[in-house]
Structures are given as structure tokens and as C-alpha cells.
Amino acid sequence: MISRWEDIIIETLSRFLIPFMQTYSLYVLAHGHGSPGGGFQGGCIFAASFVLMVIAYDIFEAKKRFSEKINGVFCALGVFIYAGIGWLCLLLGGNFLDYGKLSKILPTDPIMARYYGMAGIETGVQITVMAIMVSIFLDLVTAGRHEEAMEEEDVGSDSK
Amino acid sequence: MIKKIVSILIAILATSALLVGVKDFPNWADPNQPASVHVSPRYIEKTVEETAVPNIVTAVLADYRGYDTMFETAVIFTAGVAVMMLLRRPYKK
């Protein structure tokens, strides 16, 4: 269990570092086309920012910003975005994941439609990887007893 | 003790079986190895004209092997669901 352990240096540093990490993860996602990067790496960096948040503050503070239920939805949402873009191409008369056909609904030519299609699926990958990493981390760190474990711990710390 | 000896023997046997297979690999950086003869040149030469993506890695990841990447994502999702099913306990009301 992660308990509240206040340290002003760690908290202040994390306060500066976490937004930087999240911005950097979006940078890694957006530059997956022109340079090394992409959804998997960006998602892991984004999840690392939540892990840092849980370590530096506590699990409640992290959950206030990103609740368990939203995280669970995001786990499936990323796969849904990926497969959804594939099916969208299918509905528009192409093959599965044939991004060029997206130009029929996007105001661009097929070449840029490919670009946006790939950006879309990378975003889906990033969302799933981020949510799953956070979910696995929270499951492991609380032994699967999210609310309950914390309540027990609060009772314990009150009685001290 | 006997368990340890047996497991060490199994490890040695498995390692040697794998090392026998290494002999058949193409030489390191051999330009005529199978992967360099027909797969890599196709990706390197035709990526821009076939997919119009400037980055070959992205083209291979998202275009030539889009299914692969999709099911990698699905595998990650499955792993997360498996961890949830194994570890997560129901909320106490």
C-alpha cells in the first residue's frame, strides 16, 4: 500500500515534472510520424507521470485527477478507436485500415488522410497503453483493493 | 539437491539445443541474408510511393502491419483485463 508520506521537495519537483512528462508524451505521440516515437512509447511516458503522481503524493490525489472508472473506460476506448478507424475505412469502400479512403469524410486529399488516419490509430494505442499501465500499476500497488484498502489504512492512521 | 542438478541439466540441454540452431543463422550483417534480399528493400524503396508516409518505421507499423499493431494493442488490453480479473476484488459497500 502506498501511504501518505509528505516531502515538500518531492511534491514540488513532481508538480513541475508531471506536466512536463505529460506534454512530452504528447510530443512523442505527435512526432511518431517523422521521428522515433509513437503510441506505445508515448503511452508509457504518460502512465509514468501517473505513477510518479501516486508515488509523490498518494493514491487519492492521483484518483482525484483520473478516476478508476474513467481509466477503465479508456482501456477499451483506445482499442475501440483503432478498430473503429479500421471499420470506418471499410464502410467508406476501402480495405480494413486503408486510411486513404478517409479523405471522403475528411476535408483533405488521400495522402493527408493517411496521415490523419495513422495519427488517429496512434492516439488509440496511446490511450490504451496509458490506461492499462495505470490500471496494472494501481492493481499491483493496492493488491486489487482500491477503495477498501485505503479506508482500512485511514482507520489505522487515525488510531495512531 | 537432485532437483537442482536436474534443473541445471535441463537448462544446459535446452541451451545447447538452441545454440545448435544458431549455426544455421545467416552471418551477421550479411547482405545476402533472406530478410535483406526481398523484405527490407521493398519497404525501403516503395514506402513513399505506396503509402506516402515519410517515416519507414511508421509505415511498417501502421500501414504494412496495421493488423499486427491492432492486435498488439488488443493483447495489451487483454493483459490489463487479465490482471484486473486476477487481482481486483469487489468493492465493499
Q: What is the pLDDT of residue B8?
A: 96
Per-residue pLDDT tens for A21-46?
Answer: 999 999 998 887 767 778 889 999 99
Which cell is B40 given?
527490407
Q: Are A78 and A127 in contact (CB under 8 A)?
A: yes
For residues B4 and B56, the model is more confident at B4
Give the mutation candidate from B53, B76, B91 for the A interface (greatest A CB count, under 10 A): B76
Most confidently modeled of A48-57, A90-99, A110-119, B59-68? A48-57
- What does pTM read for this prediction? 0.78
- Give A55's contacts (C-beta < 8 A, 6+ positions apart): A2
Residue type, A68: E
Question: In terms of C-beta density within 10 A (0-12 exposed, 13-18 middle, 19 or more buried), how is residue A64 classed?
Answer: exposed
Q: What is the pLDDT of residue B57?
A: 81
Contact A135 B84 (CB under 8 A): yes
Per-residue pLDDT tens for A123-158?
Answer: 999 999 999 999 999 888 887 776 655 555 554 444
Q: What is the pLDDT of residue B93?
A: 56
The residue-averaged pLDDT of A87-94 equals: 87
Q: Which residues of A touch B (CB under 8 A)?
A: 32-36, 38-40, 75-76, 78-79, 82-83, 86, 96-97, 99, 110-111, 114-115, 118, 121-122, 124-125, 128-129, 131-132, 135-136, 139-140, 143-148, 151
Chain A CB contacts of B62 under 8 Å are: 118, 121-122
Chain A CB contacts of B64 under 8 Å are: none
Q: Is the pLDDT of residue B56 over 90?
A: no
Planar angle of CA B18, B24, B30, nearest 5 degrees = 125
Contact B53 A121 (CB under 8 A): no
